[in-house]
Amino acid sequence: MNLIFAGLSAQSVADLVMGFSGVTGIVFLVVILFFGYYGTSSLLRLKKEQALFPNRLMYPNYCPHDECIDPEGYIRFIFPRLAVLSASMLLSGLTLLLSYFIPGIRSLGLSLGLYVVPLAVYLYYSASLKKAAKIYW
């Protein structure tokens, strides 16, 4: 049975499946855009300074930046991973924002992808931070 003919749009079905609707979806959008912005600004600062600085996103839990054994190695390790994380968050957030204003681009696959891809990339990034804690601290 086609869900659109049953009175449900693709976005409504995605909201039902993922549990995001109304305020929850907007909060998710704001969080994901902020996350992408913070990661991008951290990348730009890291590229400019070529030194570690206090940042809650770049370091494993409870690992102070000034106790890093090999700062240059850690910068080479974290830079591409942080770039992927930031880009995926920004692209997902901007696409989600666009889908609110252009209902014609909404589809179930797009909606699920906009929630699943950032989560998968974040989990990959978290695993990378755990690996970095063992190597660089």
**pLDDT attached to residue 2:** 47
**pLDDT attached to residue 15:** 55
Question: What distances in angstroms separate CA 70 from CA 51, 77, 80, 116, 125, one per listed residue?
Answer: 11, 10, 17, 34, 19
pLDDT for residue 88 is more than 60: yes
Averaged pLDDT score across all residues of the chain: 83
**pLDDT attached to residue 19:** 47
pLDDT for residue 13 is more than 70: no
Taking residue 77's Cβ as centre, other Cβ atoms within 10 Å add up to 17
This prediction's pTM: 0.79
For the chain, the domains span: 10-136
- Which of 21, 22, 70, 78 shows the shortest CA–CA distance to 46? 78
pLDDT for residue 89 is more than 90: yes
